[in-house]
Structure 1
Amino acid sequence: MTQPQPRTLLQHLLETTPGLNCTTWPRFQVLWGRMAAEAATGLGNPKLAQVRASRSSYVRWLSGTHVTKGDTAVILEWYFGKSAAELARPVPRRDIVQPGPLDQSTLTAATRTLDYTWATSRYVPGEPHTGVIGAWELSGGRHFDGTAIGLQVYEAVPDGDQVALKEADLPHLRSYVRSSRRGVVLASLGAAGGSGLYLMDAAHARHQLTAGQAPRVPVAYRLDDLTFALARALYVLDDGLLADDLPLADRAEELGYYVKTGTSAPPRSDMPELSPVGAAWLGSSLCAQYITRRLDELPAVPVFWTREATGEECAPWLLFRHKHEYLQAVASRFAGAGSPLGRAFCVPEPAVRGTEPHERILLLLTVAMMEMHRITVWITSDPAYAQTEGFVLAQDRAILANWVREESVWRVATTSAVADVAPYREAIAHVQAHSIVDGPTPAARLQALARYLELDWTWLTGRCRALSGSGITGMLRHRSRHLSLTALDQTLRFLGTL
């Protein structure tokens, strides 16, 4: 059986270029007159407008059996932006694996969920017939830039406490997850009469396929305020750190110098190559190392003040690896020291009203992480303390360490001067006396915080319990060595047991 003649680039462009739809000789005759006239004007050569093309030439051009020269070549090359030789070559062949069709309810759910539930989320559907994958655009917030990741939606069927992708979609899924770009899979029960979208990082789908398993997504991974908050925080921080991997590595030695220095506050302009996420990681890392290095010098068990007031500002606590190591170091250093550890926040009402529920969930999870490390949390809503810098206070000594909402990348200093320490002592006394989350147990304090943040405590703890049961590391995957999901998984488990 003879193979069909491959289409030339010229034929492909004539048939697919918007506005041309030139598939026959009569149509090409009309188009040629326009092409010749436009080339004559564009090239300043009036003679080109009089050049004619014969039907036999047209047939040979389309078949690729003849590469035209002279004025006809000039006209074709000017109009299409390709050489006559390129136009005569076969169109590059691409083997496109088509995904299965999506139920209308699935298309509606994907658009409504990703476009109209969260202000920072937007769904850009792909073009299946061309092999173009869709994208999930996560716009930036007040402090960090956004990102965009590949996204593919598949129909699924219920399978106990999981949803299973259909066998017919596995060839396309294999093609999709082979790409080294970051991507996510959304499984939908729309065609099966169900509802909801279930999220999994494409890397986990690839792992299941490699192990010879048809990918299944736990129902606990349903996309809602909790899972969206975690996914967005991870992808934004991860992509920001990957973009800055080289400049951050280059500054490692410099960071060690500043840790040993008594006082430092390098301006942001000194590090213009860093993204907001990279600068946040550098500032946070320096502050954590600066404090840890000086813990043994403190005369008593310290109390801590944290400047973060929104979920976006708190996201590094949940995901930066050095944050978890710092918390563990502090908890271990002062375990059994007599006085309990405490950490203060200032979260004014405008910070609550000005953020969406998914972002407020990140704030609550951060406080839960502190409580999990046996650190009692106090919170004031008094806006007078909103700009108080992060510090550590132990009797007459204060360690200033702040990177949040700083004009510099970080600002660190140590002081025992009475006048300098007095404002920090007063701030701690205020928050201890007027904490809006006062309670005898972590559960009581976290429930009070949930009420203040207008979050459904019963729903949230139930979702944390379900999510920790399946493991957050089975839903999301980070690429940067500076991130970790382990402490977040532990926090979800801790909150789910309260």
Structure 2
Amino acid sequence: MRRTLFSLLLKKQKLITWEAFCVPYTATGRKLALETGNRRLATVGLGRTTFDRWSSGSWYGRPRGEAAQILERMFTQPVEVLFSPAPDASESPVAAESVATRIGSRWPTSSMLIPAGGPGGTWEITGRRHLDGTSAAVHLLPVIRQDEEVNPDDLSQEEQHDLDGFLRPARRGFVVGVEERSGDLDLYVREAAAARRPGRPGLQVAGALSIPSAYLLDDLTYGIVWALTQLDDGLLSDDQTLDSERHIISTHLSLPRSAPSRLLVDLTAAGSSWMGSAFCAQHIQRELTNARAVPTFWTREQSGEEAAPWLFFKHKLDYLQELTRFHSTSAQTVRVFCLPEAEVAQSERYERVLLLLSIALMERFGIRVRVIPQPEYSEVDGVALMPGQRAVVANWVRVPGGALWAADSTSARGDLRTYATAFADAQGNDVLSGAPDSPSRLRALSNYLGLDWGWLTSRCRSLGEYGVAGLVRPRSRLLTVNALDETLLFLGKLTSDQ
């Protein structure tokens, strides 16, 4: 964990900023050009990003060519020595290996790669069965807890320079505050974009970063970061394709039934999910335009990975808002989830948190959620049923045959009886049936999912008060954290004794 000799010499010679370093660097190049006759030495430039990599203390590469000659003249050491760990350098104040071990052991879908010698590295995030995975830059920072926030523990000028260099680029990055206590580590996460903006809460006047203690990395915050970063990066990768292929949705809306192949358009898992979900939402809204009866809904999501789009896709929020027209003092829409015990048992705790948050979002909209545990109902279509009249089929989760979605609308009596039977069985086998209101249903669901209700409501309350955007924010225009923020506050108001 020792820093490179080069980074220590910069600090000793007070050359830790790019502006200060470029003056002797350029002068040395010109001097060498005269001595050697190599005119290129006089024109060698140095970009800010390159300097930041060199000075971070953790860069594994080696400058070459004219740049190497200039550095060797400036510091009278070979570049191999300059960019190796300094023999007498003190250990890094942040135990990067311990952080990486803690994250990898607690969340198997995560790993942090922190090169020896510095605070910077990469956070690798992988999906389970549906999402593609992604990565982000990370910067470890030693912190101490002070009331409702954690603050850097006496950053040196060099450490502050390293932090400023990390925050400057516009790519996705996270500051990870590391608090060591009683032989253990607490980790706090803040998105670099939220930290770099002047005037934002958390950035002190002196430039030192503070992180709300609500951003403690646990199964709630990890689940949010895990899902949102994968959806966001996938949609950003597909942005042009989704924009240019919008006609696919409008074209298929005019058909009586449709199930286009995923091969029709080249998309990531996130992009395919968004297109399928967007089509199904519009299909259902269109088919229910003149409906007078109150529909009941069957939803195919069974894991946090499948359910996360409810929390982040903008059109999902609009869709739920539009369906509130069916609510009245005497009627309530019902939405059924099939959550087999085996699926619950094999899912990670953070995924179960995401699943509960998604269901809580619906309860907040006044939707009565039912949960059926029988696995034989796993393949029931996603459907909006108006009993005795019509069934609107809209599948985009686990669609057979590799289709983007499977949509239909039927009034056939046999189909209506089949769906009506499934809904009747859901009512008779609902694991939440003894709970008369939203708070009691969500608490019963928490027990079914093996989640601590007191911990969950307390953490939702603290995180909801600060908002998710400072923890991780979407960059895609197709995503929002508004629904999640409101759901966290909704759950946070439910006390642990309800």
TM-score in terms of structure 1 length: 0.79
- How far apart in 1 are the matches of 2:65 and 2:212? 52
Letter in 2 for 1:125: I
Shift in CA distance, 389/6, structure 1 to aligned 2, threshold 3 Å: farther
Q: How does 1:31-46 map to 2 (within 5 A)?
A: none
1:469 is displaced (CA, Å) by 1.5
Check if 1:187 corresponds to 2:213: no
Shift in CA distance, 301/191, structure 1 to aligned 2, threshold 3 Å: closer
Aligned-pair identity in percent equals 37
Check if 1:227 corresponds to 2:227: no
Aligned residues: 422
Residue matched to 2:355: 363
Residue matched to 1:196: 186
- How far apart in 2 are the matches of 1:221 and 1:147? 21
Letter in 1 for 2:120: I
Check if 1:429 corresponds to 2:424: yes
- How far apart in 2 are the matches of 1:88 and 1:226? 49
- How far apart in 2 are the matches of 1:487 and 1:92? 56
Work out whether residues 92 and 117 of structure 2, in 8 Å CA contact, stay in contact via their aligned partners in 1. Answer: no
3-state SS of paired residue (1:472): coil
Q: How does 1:314-393 map to 2 (within 5 A)?
A: 314-331=307-324, 333-336=325-328, 338-393=330-385
Q: How does 1:288-327 map to 2 (within 5 A)?
A: 288-327=281-320
Shift in CA distance, 497/451, structure 1 to aligned 2, threshold 3 Å: same
Letter in 1 for 2:408: A
Residue matched to 1:408: 403
Residue matched to 1:418: 413
3-state SS of paired residue (2:308): helix
Residue matched to 1:254: 248
Q: Cα deviation per residue 1:392-415 (whole Å; 9 max; x = unaligned)?
A: 001221000010001210111111
Work out whether residues 353 and 451 of structure 2, in 8 Å CA contact, stay in contact via their aligned partners in 1. Answer: yes
TM-score in terms of structure 2 length: 0.79
- How far apart in 1 are the matches of 2:70 and 2:298? 61
Residue matched to 1:24: none
3-state SS of paired residue (1:164): strand
Shift in CA distance, 193/140, structure 1 to aligned 2, threshold 3 Å: closer
1:293 is displaced (CA, Å) by 1.7
1:489 is displaced (CA, Å) by 0.5
Q: Cα deviation per residue 1:384-433 (whole Å; 9 max; x = unaligned)?
A: 10011100001221000010001210111111110122211111111011
3-state SS of paired residue (1:318): helix
Q: Cα deviation per residue 1:285-306 (whole Å; 9 max; x = unaligned)?
A: 0000111122222240000000
Letter in 1 for 2:176: L
Shift in CA distance, 154/209, structure 1 to aligned 2, threshold 3 Å: farther
Residue matched to 1:91: 68
- How far apart in 2 are the matches of 1:417 and 1:121? 48
Shift in CA distance, 264/184, structure 1 to aligned 2, threshold 3 Å: same
Residue matched to 2:106: 117
3-state SS of paired residue (2:163): helix
Work out whether residues 126 and 135 of structure 1, in 8 Å CA contact, stay in contact via their aligned partners in 2. Answer: no
Check if 1:242 corresponds to 2:219: no
Residue matched to 1:77: none
Partner of residue 489 from structure 1, selected from 485, 491, 496: 485
Shift in CA distance, 103/388, structure 1 to aligned 2, threshold 3 Å: same
Check if 1:479 corresponds to 2:475: yes
Partner of residue 135 from structure 2, selected from 148, 170, 175: 148
1:101 is displaced (CA, Å) by 6.1
- How far apart in 2 are the matches of 1:66 and 1:172? 33
Letter in 1 for 2:347: T
- How far apart in 2 are the matches of 1:92 and 1:253? 57
- How far apart in 2 are the matches of 1:268 and 1:88? 49
Letter in 2 for 1:497: K
1:110 is displaced (CA, Å) by 1.0
Larger radius of gyration: 1
Check if 1:460 corresponds to 2:456: yes
3-state SS of paired residue (1:274): coil
Alignment RMSD, CA only? 3.1
Which of 454-463 and 187-196 deviates more?
Answer: 187-196
Unaligned runs of 5+ in 2: 1-22, 40-62, 75-81
1:353 is displaced (CA, Å) by 1.2
Work out whether residues 120 and 140 of structure 2, in 8 Å CA contact, stay in contact via their aligned partners in 1. Answer: no
- How far apart in 2 are the matches of 1:134 and 1:291? 45
Work out whether residues 64 and 89 of structure 1, in 8 Å CA contact, stay in contact via their aligned partners in 2. Answer: no
Unaligned runs of 5+ in 1: 9-59, 68-85
Work out whether residues 309 and 345 of structure 1, in 8 Å CA contact, stay in contact via their aligned partners in 2. Answer: yes
